[in-house]
Structure 1
C-alpha cells in the first residue's frame, strides 16, 4: 500500500503557477470562462475558479483581463456569507461574446489539458509501471475458486500491461476473473476533465468510467481566496484506474472520437477513456463486427502504445494508448482469429471448467450463501445421474443456477429451503433445453 501511495504522489501533474502553464491560448481561456459564467450563472471568483478548474489567483487574473476588455464587470456588492468576495457579471458585450463562442462550441466548464501535456502525464502513471504481486492478485480474487496454476499465467500477463486473451467454455468465470484483475490494480491516477488539440476540446472525464477518489483537497471552498497554490494541476481529478467493459454491443465506431454535430463538441473514445486502466472486451465473437476486424483495429495501439484518432476535418493525430486490453471469448482462438492476430495478443490463457472436486466446493459455498442446507443424497444424485448425460462437463455457473432454481421451487411449494433429489431433477430441466424439433 505504501508503494501505491508514493506512486500516486510522484505521478501528480505539476501545479499551475501562471496562466502560461496551462498551455492554452488566452482566447480559448477567455471564451471558456465567458461561456461558463453565462451557462452556470456563477459570479464569485471562488465559484468561477471551481467551475473552470483553475486556481483562484489565476482565475482572478482572467477576470481582471476580461474586465479590462469590457466583457465583465463587478456587481458592486459584497457577499456577506462568502468572506466578503466581490461579485462579477458579464456585460452586454460579454454576453454577446459568450453566445458567439457557444455557437462555435457548446463546451464550457473545466479548462482542458493540451494533448502534449496529457501524454507526459500518462507516462508518469503508466499501467506498465504497476508492480503487481501474487499477493495482490490473490487478494482481489480470494472469493473465486480458480483452476490450479491459473494465477501463474495471469500474474505475468497482467503485470506486463500487455494484451490478454482468456478463452474457454462459457460460464466459468472469465468475466469475474477480468474484474478481479481490475481490482488488483488498487492505485489511483489523474484523469483530466477534457483535452485540447488544434483548437478543439475533447471531453475526457466520464462518471460511468472514472471514479473520483474523494473531493479534491485543492477545490476552492467557502469562498477562500487564501489558497495561492495547489499541490497538483486542478484540471485533473484523482481517480481509481478506469475500467471499460463492453460486450456484444461493442462496435468499431465506439473506438473513435464521438462528435456531436449539435453541440459541436467531441467526446473521447472508449479506448481513450480507458487510458491508464483496463479495457475488457467480454463475449468476443458476439458483436456485429467480426472478431478479426476488432483485433485489426487494436493492432497499432497494442504494438506501438499509441492510437490514431481523427477530427471532423479529417485531420489525424496520435493519442497515448496505455491500456491493459483483456479479451474474453467462448470460442477457440483459432476459430475467430488468423495467426497474425494471435501473434499480436501477448498472452493467451485458457479458462477451463472446474474439476468435480472444485465444483463441489463451489456448490457448497453457493448453497451456504443462499441458505440451502446441503443434502448428500441430492449431490450423489446430481453427480451420478445428471452430469454423465453431459459428459461430466462442470461449469462455475451451474451451482448458482441450480440453487436459485431450488429456492424458487421451495418458495412455490411453501416450504423451507431444502435440497432433494426430485428438486435437483426439476432444476436440471431448466439448465438445458432439449434438442428437439418443434412442429408448427
Structure 2
C-alpha cells in the first residue's frame, strides 16, 4: 500500500543518493544496461517504458534512451499499437536478434531487474550514512531498552560504545539478557538509510538488498494535487530502509562472511557483514560456532581496524568494500578463555553483563507476573528467596522470573485452576529449572 510522505519524512541526517538524470550518470556501461534491459523484458514480459522503468529502477527518460539505443541496434521494435489504458503509451518487444542476445546474456548471468549501483558510488553512500555518524543520546538508548530492567551503570557503559560505532564484546553468565540488550541497541538506532538493491564491480553484479535483513520503509508516492514531486528525490536503485541488523548465532561459519556465488544462476550475493553496513552485526552465543572465536575475529582484523573488507570473485580477483557496521559479540565464556591478547585489542569495548541483584530480580519478577496476569503471593516470594535461592548461593539471573512463572502457569492450566502462586508451585517450578547431578545407570 502506497502512502503519501512529505519531503521532511526522508531522514534529514542522511543525504539521499541523487537519481541519475541520464544513462551516463548511472555509472554503468551501456552494454551492461542494455543486456539487463533485454533480460528483464525477456524474463518478465514487460513491454511499456513506464513498466520497465519501475522494474529496472531508472527514470523513464533514461529508460527511453536505453530503449531507443536497443532499437537502433535492432534488438527491440515497437509493437505498432498504443495502450489505451496506459496513456496511449507505445509498446516494445524483442526482435529475433534481441531474443538471441537476451539468451546469450542470461547464459553469462541470470541477473535481471534493478540496475546495480557501481561499487564506488555505493562506498560514497555508505560514508554519507555511516553508523559512526550517529549521535546516540542517553534517552534514545533508554527508549530502545525500555522493556529491560538494567543496572544503573550499564547504560553509561553501553552509550559510548554504541555511539562510537566500534566493536563491542558483551560477556557474562548465561540467561542475563545479553541477546535482549543487543536487540535493544538495534531498536535504539531509529533512523533510516539507503540500501542498494545490487552493486556492480568489474562487470559482476552482487545483490545486497535482502528483505529478511532489511526492513523497507513505507513506499513514497506523490500527492496528485501537489506541484512538488517527492517520490523520485532519490535513486530508485536504492531501497529506503531502517538501519539493518544481522543476528547470527551458533550457525555462523567463516564461509558466510564471503561472497556467495550461485554457480547455476552465475550471480553473487553479498555476505552478511556487507548487508549489515550502516547498522549492526550481532554474533550471539560466541563460542558455540563450528569455527573457534579466535578464527572469527582473525577474519575481521582488517575490517575492524580499517573499516574496509576484502572480498574475492570466482576468478580470484580481490576487491575492497566498505565495512561500516557496529559488531556486537555476545558470549557466556570469559574473554580470556576464547581470545588471545591481540584479538581482545581489536575489540574496542568489553562490557560484562552480570545477573541482577535481589532488588532488580524482584522488579523483573513483578513485571513478568503482571504481564502474564499471574497474581503475586507474598508467602511464595518469601519461600523463593529464603529457601530456594540460598541453595544456589543467591545467584539471580534475568531469565529465571520468566521460567518460574511460565512453569506455574503450565501447572495451573493443566490442573484447571486459576493462575496462582504458592510455595508448592514454586517448588514444582524450581525442580524444572535445574538438573540434579547424579549418576544414571545404563
Superposition TM-score tier, normalisation by shorter sequence: over 0.9
Q: What is the TM-score when the length of structure 2 is the normalising length?
A: 0.95
> How many pairs does the alignment contain?
432
Deviation at 1:5, TM superposition (A): 2.8
Give the match for residue 197 of structure 1: 201
Residues 1:3 and 1:89: Cα distance change in structure 2 (over 3 Å): closer
CA deviation profile, 1:198-247 (whole Å, cap 9, x unmatched): 110000100001111111448xx9xxxx9899311111111110000000
After superposition, where does 1:372-383 map in structure 2 within 5 Å?
Answer: 372-383=374-385
> What TM-score comes out, normalization by structure 1 length?
0.96
Residues 1:278 and 2:280 are matched in the alignment: yes
**Aligned partner (choices 130, 135, 139) of residue 131 of structure 1:** 135
Q: The residue matched to 1:109 in structure 2 has which SS?
A: coil
Matched, 1:413 2:419: no
Secondary structure, aligned partner of 1:81: helix
Output the CA distance in 1 between the equivalents of 2:9 and 2:67. 41
Which residues of structure 1 form unaligned runs of 5+? none
Match of 2:4 in 1: none
Aligned partners of 2:230 and 2:338: how far apart in 1?
A: 57
How do 1:161-200 residues align onto structure 2 when only pairs under 5 Å count?
161-200=165-204
- SS of the equivalent of 1:239 reads strand
d(CA) in 1 for partners of 2:41, 2:122: 26
- 1:259 match: 261
- Does residue 21 (structure 1) correspond to residue 28 (structure 2)? The answer is no
**Which aligned pairs between 1:229-248 and structure 2 lie closer than 5 A?**
230-248=232-250
Report the CA distance shift for 1:37/1:402 in structure 2 as closer, same or farther (over 3 A).
same
In 1, the alpha carbon distance for the partners of 2:230 and 2:61 equals 6
Residue 311 of structure 1 aligns with which residue?
313
Q: Which residue of 2 aligns with 1:140?
A: 144
- Pick the aligned partner of 2:50 from 33, 43, 46: 46
Superposition pairs of residues 343-422 of structure 1, within 5 angstroms:
343-422=345-424
Q: Secondary structure at the match of 1:43?
A: coil
Q: How far apart in 2 are the matches of 1:300 and 1:376?
A: 56
SS state of the match for residue 46, structure 1?
helix
- In 2, Cα distance between equivalents of 1:153 and 1:177: 12
Q: 1:276 to 1:335 in 2, by over 3 A?
A: same
Aligned to 2:11: 5
Q: Encode CA deviations 1:52-90: one digit per residue, 9 max, x unaligned.
A: 010011001101111111111111122221211111111
Instruction: Identify the residue that residue 76 of structure 1 maps to in structure 2.
Output: 80
How far did 1:148 drift? 1.8
CA deviation string 1:329-371 (max 9, x = no partner): 0011011000111111000000000000100010001011111
- Between the aligned partners of 2:10 and 2:32, the Cα distance in structure 1 is 36
C-alpha RMSD over aligned residues: 1.7
Q: 1:391 to 1:229 in 2, by over 3 A?
A: closer
Any conservation in 1 of the 2:220–2:231 contact (CA below 8 Å)? no
Q: For the Cα contact (< 8 Å) 2:213–2:246, is it kept in 1?
A: yes
Structure 2 equivalent of residue 268 of structure 1: 270
Tell me the secondary structure at the aligned position of residue 34 of structure 1: helix
Matched, 1:325 2:327: yes
SS of residue matched to 1:327: strand
CA contact 1:56–1:228 (8 Å) conserved in 2: no
In the TM superposition, structure 1's runs of 4+ consecutive aligned residues that sit over 4 Å from their partners are: 226-229
Deviates more, 1:279-288 or 1:140-149: 140-149
Distance (Å, rounded) in 2 between the aligned partners of 1:175 and 1:77: 59
